[in-house]
Amino acid sequence: MTITSDNSRTYGYEDLPRLMGLMTGDEKHGPAATSTLDVLWVLYDRVLRVTPERRQDPSRDRFLLSKGHGPMAYYAVLAAKGFVPVEWLPGFGSYDSPLGHHPDRVRVPGAEIGSGSLGHGLPIAVGSALGLRAQGLHDPAIWVLIGDAELDEGSNHEAIAFAGPAGLERLHTVVVDNSSASHALPGGIAARFEAAGWSAVTVDGRDQEALYAACTAPHPGRPHVVVARVEPKST
């Protein structure tokens, strides 16, 4: 995949609203319009050890976007970090664009999985963690981002219940909690993971320093979940 000339410049967090605006046509598109933006930025800017040049490197960190709905923030971050050309953004969702309303790993450079249907990312992440471990690659971290309502899917519970006792230390989950789940157990997200033997931290999902600290907290012998609470979807 050719990396375009636009890549010669550096993008920062402050550029993301404009990049998202290229997809939505809304130049005023603010960070508050998407629940995942701060988490994605912190991960790609400070946590993940992956670059466009390392996309095929077996020892790269993996980020699996399971919450494939509303991927504009994801595409904006991938563009800002040089995985996809900024020129692709305005074509978002069009027939000739690689960028759909749900991402497709086969078409989006840097996307580790295609997603859209809920509840697929975490089980695949479990398998990726197992696969890296089996090949003696103990260094790469696996990150998967899911939503709080996505957590309703039973497939996620199968993965959570397995990963804790299996001691998948390199597996990390971020649950972006915008209170969109029906029949949610208030305050129960971290408790569910902890009951399965995970390390868990709940933070303000708009506080990038808090997110960074939560994402880099040590968790020997256990998988780790960061519950990132953001403003409710309905507001």
Query: Which residues in this chain contact other proteins in the complex, by CB under 8 A?
Result: 58, 104-106, 112-114, 117, 119-120, 122-135, 137, 154-155, 158-159, 161-162
Nearer to other proteins, 160 or 214 (CB): 160
Measured from the CB of residue 207, what is the shortest distance to other proteins in angstroms? 31
Residues 6+ away with beta carbon under 8 Å from 82:
3, 7, 51, 52
Q: Which amino acid belongs to residue 175? A: V
Measured from the CB of residue 120, what is the shortest distance to other proteins in angstroms? 6
Measured from the CB of residue 101, what is the shortest distance to other proteins in angstroms? 15
Within 13 Å and on the Cβ side, how many CA atoms surround 215? 30
The span from the CA of 10 to the CA of 169, in Å, is: 33
| Sheet order of strands, 224-229 included | 62-65, 142-147, 171-177, 224-229, 199-204
Kindly state the DSSP code that residue 143 receives in the 8-state scheme: E
Measured from the CB of residue 105, what is the shortest distance to other proteins in angstroms? 6
Nearer to other proteins, 37 or 113 (CB): 113
Measured from the CB of residue 180, what is the shortest distance to other proteins in angstroms? 21
The span from the CA of 9 to the CA of 79, in Å, is: 11
Structure-token pair, residue 16:
């993301």
Nearer to other proteins, 21 or 140 (CB): 140
Nearer to other proteins, 122 or 189 (CB): 122
Nearer to other proteins, 67 or 120 (CB): 120
CB 123 within 8 A of CB 113: no
Kindly state the DSSP code that residue 113 receives in the 8-state scheme: S
